[in-house]
């Protein structure tokens, strides 16, 4: 048997401030890659890309949204 180099080490969070945060929408369970906090005094909430409520500014203004607003 050879020695398996520790690929897992790359996926394990080191001693850092990184925390696991999943989409705050109940039942979603996806990774919450998008966070928003109204101020530094409140906890950051996290959403997946589908549920992120502040994403309008991030979306490309494609034809789907061209007529809105
Ligand atoms: Zn979600």
**Could you tell me the residue ranges of all domains in the chain?**
19-51
- Give me the residue label for tokens 């398996």: 4
Are 54 and 36 in contact, with CB atoms under 8 Å apart?
yes
* CA contacts within 13 A on the Cβ side of 34: 15
Tell me the whole-structure pTM to 2 decimals.
Answer: 0.52
CA of 34 to the centre of ligand 1 (A): 10
What pLDDT score was predicted for residue 54?
A: 80
CA of 31 to the centre of ligand 1 (A): 7
Are 45 and 36 in contact, with CB atoms under 8 Å apart?
yes
**Is the confidence at residue 8, as pLDDT, over 60?**
no
pLDDT in tens, 27-53: 999 999 999 888 989 988 999 999 998
CA of 68 to the centre of ligand 1 (A): 24
pLDDT in tens, 51-68: 998 866 555 555 455 444
């Amino acid at each position: 048997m050879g020695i398996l180099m520790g690929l897992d080490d790359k996926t394990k969070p080191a001693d850092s401030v990184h925390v696991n945060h999943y989409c705050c929408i109940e039942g979603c369970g996806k990774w919450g890659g998008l966070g928003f906090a109204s101020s530094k005094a409140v906890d950051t909430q996290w959403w997946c890309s589908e549920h992120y409520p502040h994403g309008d500014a991030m979306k490309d203004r494609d034809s789907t949204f061209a007529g809105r607003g």
